[in-house]
């Protein structure tokens, strides 16, 4: 009975050793993954200022330029509308003068 108990205990310890080694291996893998992730995050965040400089700032400048051009187009459209109204008034006046002169 003692031999069976010792064998059973040995087998149980062997199983525990395998579980321990498996858990240890899994923890080591997780640690390696965390190092890889940390390095990736570091490299990605290190690129943020470059991305801002090379991508974001030009987009903001283009957006501001577009806004300014849009405002200028609106002013030109208003000026053009005013000029068209003055032209129509001038044409009406010219017609009225021609009509009075019998032309």
pTM of the predicted model, to two decimals?
Answer: 0.44
| Residues in the chain where the model's pLDDT stays below 70 | 1-11
Give the rounded distance of the alpha carbon of 82 from its chain centre.
42
Confidence (pLDDT) at 29: 93
pLDDT of residue 10: 60
Q: What is the pLDDT of residue 76?
A: 95
pLDDT for the residue numbered 18: 83
User: What is the Cα–Cα distance from 98 to 9, expressed in whole angstroms?
Assistant: 124
Cα dihedral sign for 22, 23, 26, 31? negative
């Amino acid at each position: 009975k003692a031999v069976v108990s010792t064998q059973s205990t040995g087998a149980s310890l062997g199983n525990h050793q395998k579980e321990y080694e498996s858990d240890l291996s899994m923890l080591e893998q997780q640690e390696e993954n965390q190092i890889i992730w940390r390095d990736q995050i570091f490299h990605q965040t290190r690129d943020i200022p470059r991305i801002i400089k090379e991508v974001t700032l030009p987009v903001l400048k283009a957006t501001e330029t577009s806004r300014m051009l849009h405002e200028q187009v609106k002013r030109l459209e208003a000026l053009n509308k005013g000029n068209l109204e003055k032209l129509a008034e001038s044409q009406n006046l010219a017609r009225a003068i021609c009509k009075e002169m019998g032309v």
